[in-house]
């Protein structure tokens, strides 16, 4: 493996940039489509590329921005398979979490944001996974409209299937806690005559 100087981070392989951005964009099928045409800026304390093994790693206060998408993590590692597909792992580091936030299409102030200790994306299966203390929320005008919490959350964008379990292994363990889905009502309660005045 070769250490990359910090200024070289702007010339990272496109596969690392795309895979990292796709990981979080996949978390919401409604992600801001315009972001795909924006430049990507990645900052980190250090980076390593192993061209033989097709592994790229960034460590130390990693920040990825692309349009409205922001990702903050301690470590980002991508591995390219023989067929060219990417596997991405984002790790929050000791006591830290991976954070992401992105604007959603469909309105002027719609957002998705969340945290987890670790996130993974497999480009081949189009599956994104959030491990340990995962919390994803959807916002409209700063108001939370939907939330998902659990030790394991996953979203299969190909089949549009969401899974939540009470154990970071992805399996359900009896007595291991609970997942939580909160969905706010879409309709507002009608105002009484007094409230209308």
More confident residue, 93 or 24: 93
Q: Is the pLDDT of residue 10 over 70?
A: no
**CA separation for the pair 136, 3 (Å, rounded):** 34
21 CB-contact burial (10 Å; exposed 0-12 / middle 13-18 / buried 19+)? buried
The residue segments making up the domain with residue 39 are 2-186
Give the pair of three-digit tokens for residue 132: 């340990």
| 196: in domain | no
Q: Is 104 helix (H, G, I), strand (E, B) or coil?
A: strand
Number of folded domains in the chain? 1
pLDDT of residue 142: 85
Largest CA distance in the chain: 72
Please say whether the beta carbons of 69 and 35 come within 8 A: yes
To the question of pTM greater than 0.85 for the whole model, the response is no
| 70: in domain | yes
| 193: in domain | no
pLDDT of residue 150: 92
| 74: in domain | yes
Please say whether the beta carbons of 154 and 163 come within 8 A: yes
| 197: in domain | no
| 14: in domain | yes
Give the model confidence (pLDDT) of 61-102 as tens digits: 988 887 888 889 999 888 888 998 888 888 997 778 999 888
Give the model confidence (pLDDT) of 93-145 as tens digits: 777 899 988 887 777 888 888 899 998 888 788 788 889 999 988 888 888 98
**CA separation for the pair 126, 129 (Å, rounded):** 10
**CA separation for the pair 74, 68 (Å, rounded):** 20
- The CATH number that applies at residue 88 is 2.60.450.10
Rounded to 5°, the CA angle 48-53-57 comes to: 25
174 CB-contact burial (10 Å; exposed 0-12 / middle 13-18 / buried 19+)? exposed
pLDDT of residue 32: 56
Query: For the residues 30-48, what does the mean pLDDT come to?
Result: 74
| 191: in domain | no
| 69: in domain | yes
Q: Is the pLDDT of residue 8 over 60?
A: no
């Amino acid at each position: 493996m070769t250490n990359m100087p910090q200024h070289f981070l702007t010339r990272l392989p496109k596969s690392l940039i795309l895979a990292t951005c796709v990981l979080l964009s996949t978390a919401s099928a409604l992600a801001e489509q315009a972001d795909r045409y924006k430049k990507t800026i990645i900052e980190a304390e250090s980076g390593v590329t192993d061209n033989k093994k097709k592994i790229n790693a960034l460590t130390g206060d990693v920040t990825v921005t692309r349009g409205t998408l922001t990702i903050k993590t301690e470590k980002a590692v991508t591995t390219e398979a023989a067929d060219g597909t990417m596997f991405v792992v984002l790790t929050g580091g000791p006591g830290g979490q991976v954070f992401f936030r992105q604007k959603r299409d469909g309105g002027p102030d719609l957002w998705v944001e969340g945290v987890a200790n670790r996130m993974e994306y497999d480009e081949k299966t189009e599956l994104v996974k959030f491990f340990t203390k995962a919390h994803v929320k959807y916002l409209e005008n700063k108001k939370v409209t939907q939330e998902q919490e659990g030790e394991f959350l996953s979203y299969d964008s190909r089949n549009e299937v969401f899974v939540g379990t009470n154990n970071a292994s992805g399996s359900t363990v009896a007595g291991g806690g609970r997942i939580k889905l909160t969905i706010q009502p879409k309709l507002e309660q009608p105002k009484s005559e007094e409230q209308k005045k």
